[in-house]
Amino acid sequence: MLEQIDFTESIRNAQINHGVDSFSLREDDLSIRETDFKTQTSTVLMIDISHSMILYGEDRITPAKKVAMALSELITTRYPKDTLDIVVFGNDAWPVEIKDLPYLQVGPYHTNTVAGLELAMDILRRRKILISRSL
């Protein structure tokens, strides 16, 4: 448990909280290091690009794209061993690249969630096989 304590940050906190002259280190000064797990996770993000994403003048696609871009940034920078696949679905489903997220457009499509889920499951099955083979 001691290896998880960030002593430099904890001492800094104690100096800020109690001053240098009467130095004391208390429980609320302790800072814990973030630990990275060595597991690998595969994520498939599905984005609906059917007409319902702009129905009645409401823009639902822009917030969806923003969340997708934030998630992709988090996964690619913080968890580089993880994989992220993005699937869009309307009448059918197909994969898109992260770089194409800002350019996604809603189409005159119906909402075929089943096609999106089937493609997502196929991707995850392939990822599982690839991960198993690399171990």
Q: What is the pLDDT of residue 2?
A: 76
What does the pLDDT look like over 20-34, one tens digit per residue?
A: 888 889 899 999 887
Confidence check: pLDDT of 109 > 70: yes
Domains along the sequence of the chain with CATH: 1-35 (no CATH), 42-134 (3.40.50.410)
Range name among 4-13, 94-103, 113-122 with the lowest pLDDT average: 4-13
What does the pLDDT look like over 44-85, one tens digit per residue?
A: 999 999 999 999 999 999 999 999 999 999 999 988 889 999
Three-class SS string for 25-82?
Answer: CCHHHCCECCCCCCCCCEEEEEEECCHHHHHHHCCCHHHHHHHHHHHHHHHHHHCCCC
Average pLDDT, the chain: 90
